Each structure stands twice: as structure tokens, then as C-alpha cells.
Amino acid sequence: MNIGDRVVAWSKDEEIKKEGASGGLVTSLLTAALKGELVDEVIALQKKSEFEGVPIRTSDVDEVIKCSGSLHAAPINLTKFAVRFFEEHPDGTLALPAKPCDARGIIEQAKRKKIDLEKTYLIGLNCGGTMGPITTMKMLEKMYEIDPNEVIEEEIERGKLIFKTEKEEKAISIDELEEAGYGRRENCRYCEINIPVMADLACGNWGAGENETFVEIFTEKGLKLMNNAIELGLIETAPATEKGIKIREKTNGVMEKVAKKWHEKIFVPIEDRLERLHYYMDVMEDCIDCEACKYVCPVCACDESKCIDFYDPMDSHKISIYHLIRLLHLSDSCIGCGQCTDVCPAEIPLTTLHRRMADRIQTKYNYVPGMDMKIPPSFEVE
Amino acid sequence: MNKIVCPGCNLGCGLYKNDVLYFRKNAPVNSGKLCRFGMKLHKYEKALPMVDGKEEKLPNAISAASKKLAETKEFAFVSFGNVTCEEQLAFTKLASTVGSNVYTCIPGFVGANIEKIRQSTEIITFIDPYATYPLILRHILYAKENGAKITSYYWKKIRIADESVILNPAEIDKIKSIDFGDSLVILDLNPLNLEFSNEIINSCNRENIVCLKPFLNSTGASLLSGEEKSIYQIFEEIKEKKIKGLYLLESDPGIVPDDALLSALDNLDVLIVQQSAHNSLSDRANIVLPNDRTFEGKGTVLNFEGRVLETEGETEGIEVISEILKSGGKEETSYDSLHAEVLSKLGITEIDEYVVPEYNIAYKPETELKKYEGKAHLIYVYTPFLWNNTIDRDFVEISPGLAESLNLHKDRLLEMTSSKGSAAVKYKIVETVPDNIVLSPMKLPISTDVITPVEFKPEQN
């Protein structure tokens, strides 16, 4: 096996194969990384229900096995959990599953010396988008007429969102769901990065058969992860078929096209400068100064935060200085992960605001954050 | 990670906690959203066991408390609801052993739920949703986006409202003539100005009132307690020596606007406080019993809707009370039996956080609106977060008109006088505040009540 190879793989452990998504490969790679002592700890999402995943950090293989299975309605970014790992264990090694926005957050933190990327194994997960759990539960009741408590499995296939209960299986097209105000989070709809090419390898079901994962290996670490699991007898592999490769490319192409359409729809330019200013002033006026957006932001890396230091709640500015600083400071690094919008108690569309600003800056400087370690952050001087 | 309920107020926001906080995105009330309080959970100085101002071993503090309970007549027990239902129930059992009740100082009232806010077409609010209960804001915003008309009655204009009626303390009686119709009413039921809330409650249908409350388990605690007394009545009875011993469970009477009231505590024969955080009350108490922080223990909490929520900590939160019962030779209690009793009292067999049980609670308060003299007023716009020491606002809000009339320059202080004396405070100019009002999120030493008549001293050139 070599870097650049595309294979299909699956777990040899029957339990993991059954519980994990697409043949349980990711769970097996994580357990193998611990068993083969490639890493000290693993970060994974422990599945509490179809609508709840809790990030855990563990070195216990059994705990990792409990995390098997995919969760589309638990939109969590693991970057800050990785940052905390390296705060506690600067010389430690870590493996984690990473959607493109997890991987991009981790790379941006690595550029700011908060994560040691050499010691971080990123098992990339293809991602067509995630959904808010409460919205999904409502969607199940209204659109699918399914009791959310009865859902045992969910899946995205050929543009349809499928929910399974013990009794039935129902599929509705994602377009239809999103037209009705459900479906993926807004930032996921316009995200064009579905295959985590910045990770060590990318795993997904596009182009794979039943109970298989399609894997593309990007780095030495990715190769090491695969070989380690094979040597430990935990996974099996086979070359990807030409048909599988084409299906994967086509699916990715369709997703990118849909994302572009959403981008155009959401980011209608506000050409008039005054109108633009009032747009920002108006939406920011609901801010309650909780700073939750900063707390959850995966790319926020300041030890002493300028956005807080230069902001005094006693000032009577008509526009929030805190947000102005954040808009500027994140304009090179915002990856559009949606965590700030998710957390905002005043429902300020923060990700949209940040992307409006970041799109212009990142286009101007031809800088896409979180893709690799080659280009340093535009606004940072080492 | 342990699933917990944010102890900031009675909204019931769901979190996970171990060494870090993580917001539960599938929590029914907050959907992964959180205000400033939830994020500061872990920054508490823990209380230590103390007897007569000296640190003691816990068993000694427990036996001292037990002894005092046995020998002191007229003991009152107060728990605002900063503990789980199980702990509250254990506390009521302890109170009953000396023939007393637990007072929560907030009546047991459950009104409408969040879904009703979201589905409403007309909403009348008596709160500042941006400051007092921030996590309710998004539900009002949702209703507004769906066409609901929002009317605000408050001390200043509220941005979200289509119509903002600014209340004048000198004409507070005018709230009696509000036509509520079928509007959904959102108000704050807190121990400091029950008269105001009661007036509104008496004017509306229970099904149309959303009663927000300030403490983690205000609703559960008050439903599990019996007869109620207001915080002011308790101070009065301490002053009159009708209450000689006071046992406070996670309840700081220092929330009252007038600090002078606190001197009544010196009249007590014994003050026992059981609390998780160390504060000035610990220094004042004869006996301090440390408590587990609610988010470290397990148990049941009822939010303002009556929604039953669980906290999944490792401790049971009733150890200290159980030990006191044991040490006093009383019947012991266990977490499991308390939990079963809580569910039975709530009329449920299992907890489902996505379902709000039905309540049929009659609450017909009999209180009179207070009257406020004067032309200008200082208003203490308390928030639950202030009481939990997480507000870092050390300034008041005043109107541009007031600043101009007093010739206030930047970086100067606003000088005010009340019947208790003078104070000079930092201020922020806010366009939505009327000229006769000073809004303060902090308690000022010149406050005599939630609303205090004041006069201003113009700045000299």
C-alpha cells in the first residue's frame, strides 16, 4: 500500500463491523492506533442516541469501540478537545476522526503552535453536512412522521436522508427537507469541502460496497494507520474498483455543485457600503456579550484575546467592538464550521457574518485556511 | 462527561461537564446554546466546614449542626431551589424533624412552556430578555420571525419589541389597566418583587403566563415545599425574634436590595449555612457545612416549564443532610428512596426531558403593589447571574438626556442620593433608557428596595 492509494476496507471484528458505519473501519483504525501504540489517546464521539454524541478522550480500547457508528445530527467540532490534549501532553500522540471542518480547525491550531500535527493522526471522514439535533427531531416528527425515540439508524445515500426504525425505513430527499427549513445546518449547505484531503486519509461510503469504507491515503501517517491495523489483523482491504472511484468523484462533484448554489443564495452581495455597515450593525445588535462564540471557535487561538481586551461593555458604540475585532481577526482563519452560530443564544447568524468577511479576504490573499501547513496565516507574524 | 443542568437560573439549559464544558446540542431548552453563566461554572471557591469561624472537620461540623437543631426553638429552613429535588426533599424531612417547613421564597407556580412562546401570535413581556434570561430570547425571536407582535412593558425600550411601553415607578398602578387579552405573558417570578409578578398573574390565565424564575430548581423546590414566606417576611420574623435559628441551604439572603436588612441575621441565636461556594455568608454563619456543587451530583431538577431534567453527577448530594438526620437519631434517608418519592410527587414514572408533564396548580396570590414616590428612580435590574457572582458589570445605564442635563463628561461618575446616602458610580449612556431612570445590574449601597427614589447631583464645570 502506498500514499495516494484508494482502497476499500472493513473491520474484521464482527461486533465493530455491525455497530460501526460502513464496515466499522474508522473504529478499527482508532482501536488499532491504541493497541499498536501509535498513539497515547484517541478522541471520539460517544453515541448517546441518534441525536447526541459526547466527545471523549480515552486510551481505553473498549471505550473507543463504544463510539462506533456515524452521527449526522451531532454537529460537534473536535479541534478544541485536541488543543486541550496537547496543553496537557505536549509530547503526546493523538488520533481522532475528523470531518473536513475538524481537520481544518486542527491545522489552523497547528499553525499557531497549539497542536503538534506531526503527533496527530487525522482519520478524515467524508462529510456531506451535519444537522442540528433538535431540528432533526422536529423534522422526524413533521416530515417523516417517526417518533425520534424509535430511530435506530440514519444514513445519507444518493441525496436522500434515510431513517430506520425497527418497523420501517423512510427516505426523503435532502433538497425537499432543506426547502422545508430542515436538513443540514446552513454552513454545511454551502461547504464545498466534502472529502478531507487535508487529513492523513479520507474515509467514506461514497464508491464503497455494503459494509465497506472507501479510503484514500494522503500521508505517511495515513499509511501507518492502515498498515498498523492490517498488521494487528484488525482490518481487511481490497483495491477500490474503477466504478467505485468514479461514483465517489461524481458524488463529490454533485455535492460541490449544490454547495456553490447555496453559496450564491446565501451570500447575496451587499454592494452599497452604508447598507453593508447597517447590515452588520443590525444583526450584531442582538448580541448579549456572552462570548460563547469565542469559547467554541475551533480556530480561535489567542492566549490573551484582543476581542475581549479591547472591548469594554461600558462603551456606547453603535456596533460591537468585540465582534469587529473578531471579524477582522478570524478573516484569515475562519473555516465556516458553524459552531458560533450553533452556540449563539441570540441566534445571530455569526458564521454567515464571518464568512462574508472571510470570503473577501481569503479570496484576495488566495488563502484557504486549514488545508495544509505550507502557507502561514495571512495575518500572523511568527 | 457528566450530563448536567446549568445552575445559572431555572431555564434548565443542558450541558456536559468534566474538566471542560460542552454544550448539549440536543438539550431541549437550549439546543447547545449557552449564556455567560454556564461557561463560568467551574470557577468557584469551594466552602469548607466551619464552626464559629474556624475550620473544622466535617463530622464535627455536622454534629455541631445537629446539636444546635435539637436545642434551638423556632428554627426556619430556607432553600431557594439551588439544589436538586432529592436534596430539597431531604431538607424538608430534616425541617420536619424540628416541626418546621422549608421556605423557598418563591411560590410554586408553573405556567406556559417554551413551545407556547414559539407558537404565540401576541406576546407581552415584563423582562429584558437580553439581560435577565438570555436563553429565552431566541424563542421570542422565533415567534417574532413568524409574525408575532411583541409588546414590552419595562423600565427601558426593548429592542425586540414592536411596541415598548416604558414603565414609570411613580405610576406603577398603570399595569393594572393593561388589557392582556389572549396574549402570552412573560414575566420574572423572583423573591424580590413578588407583588409586581402577582399583580400580573392575577390578571391573566395561568395557561398564558410564562413564569421565569431565578434559581436552578426554583420550580421543583417550591412544588416540594409547603407553606411559603417571602424573604422580607423571614427577615421581619428574625428581627422580631420569632425565628431564632436559621438553616440556609444554598441560599444567600444577601440578594435583597437593601443590605441593612442583613443586620437582622445578627439577632439569630444560630445561623447554619450549607453551601458549595465560599462567600461572605460563610464568614457570618455559626456553622458552615460544605455542599456538593449541584452539577457534581445526581438528581432531578424542574425547570420553569415544569420539565423534568436530570443531572448525572457522581455524588448523591444528600450526604450531609443524611448525616445530620443520623446524628440526631432520626430516620435516615437514601437517594433512591428520595428519587422515587420525587417521581411519585410529580406523578411520573420515568424522566423524559422532551415531554413537559401536565400541572394543575392553583395560585391566587394576595399582595398589594408597592407605591414609589419621587421623580427619578434607581432600579436594581437584578439577574440570576448577578446573584451567582458572574456579572462583571460595574456601571449603571442612564439616558443621553440625563447625562446632558447633569453635564456629565466621559470618565466622570454619576452622583446620586437616596434616603440612605450618596453614591458615585460609573455609567453607560444608553439611548433606550428614559431620563428619570437609572438601571443598575449591581446592588448599590443607597438602594432601599428594588426601586429606590433618588436625586442627582449635577457635575460642576
Structure confidence by residue, pLDDT tens digits, A166-212: 999 999 998 899 989 899 999 999 999 999 999 999 999 999 998 99
Residues B26, A75: C-beta atoms closer than 8 Å: no
Handedness of CA B381, B449, B397, B149 (dihedral sign): positive
For residue A318, pLDDT beyond 90 = no
- Structure confidence at residue B317 as a pLDDT band (50, 70, 90): confident
pLDDT tens figures, B47-77: 899 999 999 999 999 999 999 999 988 999 9
For residue B461, pLDDT beyond 60 = no
- Structure confidence at residue B242 as a pLDDT band (50, 70, 90): very high
pLDDT at B19: 66
For residue B239, pLDDT beyond 80 = yes
B149-154 and B122-125 strand pairing: parallel
User: Across the interface, which of B28, B35, B393 has its CB nearest the CB of A313?
Assistant: B393
Strand partners, B154: B166
**CA B11 and chain centroid, separation:** 11
When mean pLDDT is compared across A179-188, B41-50, B196-205, the lowest value belongs to: B41-50
What is the arithmetic mean of pLDDT over B341-346? 94
For residue A70, pLDDT beyond 90 = no
Which of A139, A150, A290, A321 should we substitute to test contact with B (largest number of B Cβ atoms within 10 Å)?
Answer: A290
Please report the ipTM that was assigned to this predicted complex.
Answer: 0.86
Written as nine digits, the cell of B405 is: 442635563
Written as nine digits, the cell of B174 is: 398603570
pLDDT tens figures, B274-306: 999 888 888 899 999 999 888 788 999 999 999
DSSP-derived letter for residue B331 is P
User: Across the interface, which of A49, A132, A296 has its CB nearest the CB of B31?
Assistant: A132
- Structure confidence at residue B387 as a pLDDT band (50, 70, 90): low
- Structure confidence at residue B388 as a pLDDT band (50, 70, 90): low
DSSP-derived letter for residue B186 is E
Q: Which of residues 275-314 of A touch B (CB under 8 A)?
A: 285-286, 288-292, 295-296, 313-314
Beta-strand (E) ranges in B144-257? 149-154, 163-166, 184-188, 209-212, 245-249
Chain B residues touching chain A at CB-CB below 8 Å: 1, 16, 19-20, 22-26, 28, 30-36, 39, 130-131, 134-135, 137-138, 141-142, 159-160, 354, 392-393, 395, 426-430
Residues A345, B137: C-beta atoms closer than 8 Å: yes
pLDDT at B363: 79
pLDDT-above-90 percentage for chain B: 69
The alpha-carbon gap from B32 to the nearest alpha carbon of chain A, in Å, equals 6
Residues B26, A81: C-beta atoms closer than 8 Å: no
Residues A134, B28: C-beta atoms closer than 8 Å: yes
What separation in angstroms does the CA of A44 have from each of B284, B330, B445? Answer: 47, 48, 51
DSSP-derived letter for residue B395 is E
pLDDT at B392: 66
Distance between CA atoms of residues B333 and B4, nearest Å: 24
For residue A382, pLDDT beyond 80 = no
What is the arithmetic mean of pLDDT over B219-247? 93
pLDDT at A19: 83
**DSSP symbols for B222-240:** HHH--S---HHHHHHHHHT
Contacts of B322 (CB under 8 A, 6+ apart): B90, B332, B333, B334
pLDDT-above-90 percentage for chain A: 71
Which chain B residues are within 8 Å of A345, Cβ to Cβ?
A: 30, 33-35, 134-135, 137-138
pLDDT tens figures, A106-124: 999 999 999 999 999 999 9
pLDDT tens figures, B127-148: 999 888 889 999 999 999 999 9
- The per-residue pLDDT of chain A, averaged, comes to 92
Short-list B239, B240, B265, CA closest to B251: B265
Contacts of A91 (CB under 8 A, 6+ apart): A119
What residue has cell string 496565516? A377
DSSP-derived letter for residue A92 is -
- Structure confidence at residue B313 as a pLDDT band (50, 70, 90): confident
- In terms of pLDDT, which residue wins out, A253 or B131? A253
Q: Quote the crossing angle between the two packed helices A273-284 and A350-364, to the nearest 10°.
A: 140
What is the arithmetic mean of pLDDT over B332-349? 93
* A52 touching chain B per CB within 8 A: yes
What separation in angstroms does the CA of B321 have from each of B50, B79, B443? Answer: 16, 13, 32
Chains A and B: how many Cβ contacts under 8 Å? 99
When mean pLDDT is compared across A33-37, B15-19, B236-240, B398-402, the lowest value belongs to: B15-19
Mapping DSSP to helix (H, G, I), strand (E, B) and coil, where does residue A14 land?
helix
pLDDT at A153: 80
pTM, rounded to two decimals: 0.90
For residue B385, pLDDT beyond 70 = no
- In terms of pLDDT, which residue wins out, A100 or A48? A100
Short-list A33, A20, A84, A58, CA closest to A221: A33
pLDDT at B460: 63
What is the arithmetic mean of pLDDT over B225-241? 92
Which of A43, A86, A288, A322 should we substitute to test contact with B (largest number of B Cβ atoms within 10 Å)?
Answer: A288
Distance between CA atoms of residues A277 and A275, nearest Å: 5
Written as nine digits, the cell of A101 is: 471542518
For residue B153, pLDDT beyond 90 = yes
Helix or strand run (H / E) with residue A46 = strand A41-49
Distance between CA atoms of residues B370 and B207, nearest Å: 26
The alpha-carbon gap from A206 to the nearest alpha carbon of chain B, in Å, equals 28
* A15 touching chain B per CB within 8 A: no
Adjacency order of strands within the sheet including A153-157: A153-157, A160-164, A169-173
Q: Would you call B246 exposed, middle or buried from its count of C-beta atoms within 10 A (0-12, 13-18, 19+)?
A: buried
* A206 touching chain B per CB within 8 A: no
What separation in angstroms does the CA of A137 have from each of A74, A338, B120? Answer: 12, 19, 21
pLDDT at B117: 96
Residues B32, A343: C-beta atoms closer than 8 Å: yes
